Amino acid sequence: MPLHAKDAVRDRWVDDVYCSRDSSVAVPKYRFPPHALPADHAYAVVHDELMLDGNARMNLATFCQTWVEPEVHRLMDECIDKNIVDKDEYPQTAEIEARSVHMLADLWNSPAAANTIGCSTTGSSEAAMLAGLALKWRWRDRRRAANQSTERPNLVCGSVQVCWHKFARYFDIELREVPMEPGRYSLTPDKTLRCVDENTIGVVATLGVTFTCQYEPVREICRALDDLAARTGLDVPVHVDAASGGFVAPFLEPELEWDFRLPRVKSINASGHKYGLAPLGCGWVIWREAADLPQDLIFRVDYLGGDMPTFNLNFSRPGGQVMCQYYNFLRLGREGYREVQQACRETATFLAEQIGAFGPFEIVHDGRSGLPAACWKLKPGPHAGNFTLYDLADRLRYHGWQVCAYPLPGLPEVIVQRALIRHGVSRDLVRALVADMCGALVWFRDHPINVPVSNKDGSGFHH
């Protein structure tokens, strides 16, 4: 090759990714790439594209963990090759998962915490499918035993997360979702009673409603169902979707009875990767007692020498998340979790107070109870600049914050906005958010949106 063939020389001698030939052309996007790339070049392409995503720490729309300790990064790295389903190859991983199940059963006051059954999942969605299937199976067994029809099962709930809609559709269950009403955003005992019948496989109560972050009154719902059972013999089990609340209520409101202290609560799910503080990809479902999970849903795997029950939708699944969950349990204990969640709660309350003080907003949830979060809506207008919460969300996005605005389910006229305060969302970050909200309100006042001239001096905002 002649020396003056500079391109070839350059490719051989210059190792700066951005001077390489690879980066002078676009990589294929939708066709399978014909050639290989050096690892560092391919890495730079992917890494740089990810830069365009939002900053997860500034995403206050998510319930999921966006900050973890360096030790969690290390454990995740050490576990990258561990498949949680290979219980014979990785018996300690299996053992640690089992311990975590019993720790959670203990945290949630199972009367049989040391012996009950449960499993890790990819998140609350898979956990909901498993818990829902158990309810369906138990209902069908009861109906068959009584020689009654097993057609048309239904599930009763309030405004649930989409995973329950999926469960109902995938597994052919009628979802009796009690709609929200103006000013009432939770399932209530009497609404529950109006929906249950002999085909109800169970009632789902949510501890930390996705849309408002409030807790549904699990104990009162259980009491009403106890009363129904006493009056009519209709015995309807309760599942608690504690995706977020399962890792908040035990620490911040230990006296609140929502868990296995209530005999009617037969199963609970939670997302380890939300307030459980594990990295993404960790959920849990626990049954009150082993007998609450029908045996024929369990697949027995005997290749450990012992008898390993498994109940999951997935087969292969990463083990690191569950190991980090266990790390969190050891690292924090009840005391540590309480401190973390308490700090989040105080920051959420601080945020709600600041937002309330702006003037145009009405606080729907201030974090004093329920999840550490703030949720607000606009007071009836007019407001300076005539903005909507969607405009405010856009304006905050301009500063990098993701604070979503959305209508409440079934109440299209009630638009709310919500910020989840998680471990890693500090008081200083929230102060910066408040300052940017303040700036947004000034900006709207000075750049009114479609506002009639006569309305230009709209009131309501002071800062």
Ligand X SMILES: *Cc1c(COP(=O)(O)O)cnc(C)c1O
Binding mask 49-88 for ligand X (x = CB under 6 A): --------------x-------------------------
CB of 143 to ligand X, least distance (A): 27
Rounded CA separation 371/76 (Å): 27
| Pattern 269-308, ligand X, x by CB under 6 A | --x-----------x-------------------------
Is 343 in a helix, a strand, or coil? helix
Interface size with ligand X, residues (CB under 6 A):
14
Q: Which is it for strands 405-408 and 411-420: parallel, antiparallel or unpaired? A: antiparallel
Of 93, 120, 124, 159, the one binding ligand X (CB under 6 A) is: 124
- For position 199 contacting ligand X by CB under 6 A, the verdict is no
Is residue 154 at the binding interface for ligand X, with CB under 6 A as the rule? no
Q: Which 248-267 residues touch ligand X, going by CB under 6 A? A: none
Measured CA distances, 50 to 150, 262, 401 (Å): 49, 46, 17
* Between 215 and 387, CB nearer to ligand X: 215
Q: Which is nearer to ligand X, 155 or 378 (CB)?
A: 155
Report if residue 216 touches ligand X, rule: CB under 6 A. no
d(CA 434, CA 425): 13
Pairing mode of beta strands 373-378, 405-408 = unpaired
Which position's Cβ is nearest ligand X? Answer: 123
Q: Are 328 and 340 in contact (CB under 8 A)?
A: no
Shortest distance, position 210 Cβ to ligand X, whole Å: 5
Least Å distance, CB 259 to ligand X, is 15
**Of 324, 392, 330, nearest in space to 360 by CA:** 392
Query: Looking at the DSSP assignment, which residues form a beta bridge with residue 318?
Result: 83
> What is d(CA 44, CA 371) in angstroms, rounded to the nearest whole number?
39
Rg (C-alpha) for the chain, rounded Å, is 26
Comparing CA positions, the residue from 239, 51, 52 lying closest to residue 130 is 239
Residue 219 beta carbon to ligand X: minimum distance, rounded to whole angstroms: 18
The rounded distance, in Å, linking the Cα atoms of 292 and 286 is: 10
Shortest CB 63 distance to ligand X, Å: 5
The CB-of-82 to ligand X minimum distance in angstroms stands at 21
Q: For residues 129 and 440, which CB has a smaller minimum distance to ligand X in the complex?
A: 129
The strand pair at 283-287 and 265-271 is best described as antiparallel
Our finding on whether 243 is near ligand X (CB under 6 A) is: yes
How far apart are CB 367 and ligand X at their closest, in Å? Answer: 16
Exactly one of 177, 216, 241, 292 binds ligand X (CB under 6 A); that residue is: 241
**272/319 with CB nearer ligand X:** 272
Farthest-apart Cα atoms in the chain, separation = 96
Nearest distance from C-beta of residue 238 to ligand X, angstroms: 15
Q: Shortest approach of ligand X to residue 398 CB, angstroms?
A: 27
Give the residue ranges of DSSP H helices in 51-112. Answer: 70-78, 91-107
- Residue span binding ligand X (CB under 6 A) among the ranges 71-79, 118-126, 294-302, 391-399: 118-126
Question: Is residue 123 part of the contact set for ligand X (CB under 6 A)?
Answer: yes
228 token code pair: 């129904």
Q: Interior CA angle at 209 toward 285 and 108, to 5°?
A: 35
Give the nearest distance from C-beta 62 to ligand X in angstroms: 9
Contacts of 5 (CB under 8 A, 6+ apart): none
Selected range binding ligand X among 41-49, 98-106, 204-212, 336-344, rule: CB under 6 A? 204-212
Beta strand residue intervals within 89-245, DSSP E: 118-121, 154-157, 174-177, 200-206, 238-241
202 is a site residue for ligand X (CB under 6 A): no
* SS3 assignment, position 269: strand
CB 417 within 8 A of CB 377: yes
- Nearest approach in angstroms of CB 64 to ligand X is 7
Q: Is 460 left (phi over 0), alpha (psi -120 to 50) or beta?
A: left
| Minimum separation from the CB atom of position 260 to ligand X (A) | 18
Alpha helices in 272-388, H assignment, sequence order: 320-358
- Residues in region 161-180 near ligand X by CB under 6 A: 161, 163
Q: Under the criterion CB under 6 A, does residue 386 sit at the interface with ligand X? A: no
Stretch that binds ligand X, among 136-144, 166-174, 239-247, 402-410 (CB under 6 A): 239-247
Which of 110, 210, 325, 349 binds ligand X (CB under 6 A)? It is 210
Q: Is 244 among the residues that bind ligand X (CB under 6 A)? A: yes
Instruction: Considering only the stretches 86-94, 202-210, 211-219, 220-228, report the one whose residues sit in contact with ligand X under the rule CB under 6 A.
Output: 202-210
Per the DSSP assignment, residues forming a β-bridge with 420 are 373
Task: Give the H/E segment covering residue 283.
Answer: strand 283-287
**By the rule CB under 6 A, 206 interacts with ligand X:** yes
Note the residues at the interface with ligand X (CB under 6 A): 63, 123-125, 161, 163, 206, 208, 210, 241, 243-244, 271, 283
